[in-house]
Structures are given as structure tokens and as C-alpha cells.
Amino acid sequence: MLVLEMGDGDYSRVSLLRSLANRERILLSETSTSLPLGSCLVTLRERDREAAWIVTSGATLSLGVDTVCLAVALLDRILLATRVPLKYVNCVAATCLYISIKLCEECVCVSDAGRLISRLQLPYSIPELNRMELTILSRLNWDLGLPSVDRFMHAMLGCMGSPFLPVFRIPIEAVICSSI
């Protein structure tokens, strides 16, 4: 019988990977995997455009890949669970980015709505962004522990003993911007 000895770090990485995979499986079983259909609702093309906007905005604000990936994961969950009219999709995307900044970034340079609106030249008011934030959080039952591409990559590379390299950022961003 072969017994692999793993240090606590290895065990926690494998445990994290299993936890992420299990969480994703549960979310997929509870949520539709296609966008709601209807006149003036968000399509895959608009979803991809907004995901690309989040990636570009993340670069503009010098945000980490974890922040950007969480923002796109939040956007995807909302778009799959809610009938989002096309006219609100950018506000939803901006709010998903705002929520992920508050969760992931240590720098407070854009952690308040006014600064984010100003830095990204958004056409929304602070109350509009705050209202959308409350709507999104409510729709997600305040559960923001979503699996994301970068979390899977970190966990898998950790299990293999490799560090997460900055070179992975561009391919990850390309993946999250494409719904295909």
C-alpha cells in the first residue's frame, strides 16, 4: 500500500481544491447554466462585453487578478439568476467590481463608491451604486464565497508545488471574458 505523506500545507491546498469543486457543483445544480431569454435582456455578447469592461477597469485601477475574477464570477451568478435588462447591465458589472474591491483589495484608494465612480468615470450616482449593491447582495443571499478561475488556479498550482505566476493573468482574463 502506497501512503503519501503530505504536510499541513499540502493537505489544506487539496482540501481547498475539493471545497471549490464541491461548491461549484452545488452552485451549478441550484442555478441555470444559460442566461434568461427575453426582449431587452442581456445576451452572451453583452455578458462578454461587460466581463471585458471589468478586466479593463481592473487594469486601470491596478487591481489584483483575484478581484477581477471575483467580479466576473459575481456578474455571471447575477446574470444567470436574474432577468437583467440590458440598460442595467453596466451598472450591475460596476457594482460587482465594487463589491469585489471591497472584499479583496487592501488599498482603500477605490474602496468607496464616490472614488470608484470618479476613477472610472461612471454615469451612476453613489445612491444608485449602493442600491444595486444591496440588490445584488440580497439576490445572492449575501453569499460571496464563489469559486472563481483564479482560486482554482491558485489551489491547483499549490497542489503541484508551483507558485501562481503573473504570466497566468492574461490567459485567465481571456478565459473570463469569453462565454464560449
Q: Which residues contact 180 (CB under 8 A, 6 or more apart)?
A: 44
Let me know if residue 5 belongs to a domain. no
CA–CA gap between residue 76 and residue 81 (Å, rounded): 8
Residue 136: the pLDDT is 95
Residue 72: the pLDDT is 94
Q: Which of the pair, 81 or 133, is modelled with greater confidence? A: 133
Let me know if residue 64 belongs to a domain. yes
Nearest residue to 155 (alpha-carbon basis) of 16, 23, 19: 16
Q: Which residue in the block uniquely carries the three cell numbers 482603500?
A: 108
Domain holding 116, by residue range, is 40-176
Determine the average pLDDT of the residues in 104-114: 77
Q: In this predicted model, what pLDDT tens digit does every residue of 24-54 receive, in sequence order? A: 666 666 666 677 778 888 888 999 999 999 9
Q: Which three cell numbers stand for residue 136?
A: 445584488
Number of folded domains that form the chain = 1
Residue 103: the pLDDT is 87
Let me know if residue 109 belongs to a domain. yes
CA–CA gap between residue 95 and residue 73 (Å, rounded): 12
Let me know if residue 98 belongs to a domain. yes
> What is the CB neighbour count within 10 angstroms for residue 67?
22
Q: Which residue in the block uniquely carries the three cell numbers 501562481?
A: 164
Q: Are 78 and 140 in contact (CB under 8 A)?
A: yes
Strand partners, 85: 41
- ∠ at Cα 150 (146, 151), nearest 5°? 55
Let me know if residue 13 belongs to a domain. no
Strand partners, 41: 85
Q: pLDDT-based confidence at 173, cuts 50/70/90?
A: confident
Let me know if residue 141 belongs to a domain. yes
Q: Are 68 and 176 in contact (CB under 8 A)?
A: yes
Let me know if residue 88 belongs to a domain. yes
Q: pLDDT-based confidence at 61, cuts 50/70/90?
A: very high
Let me know if residue 92 belongs to a domain. yes
The domain that holds 93 is classified in CATH as 1.10.472.10
Residue 161: the pLDDT is 67
Q: Which residues contact 81 (CB under 8 A, 6 or more apart)?
A: 31, 32, 139, 140
H helices of 31-88, in order, are 44-60, 65-81
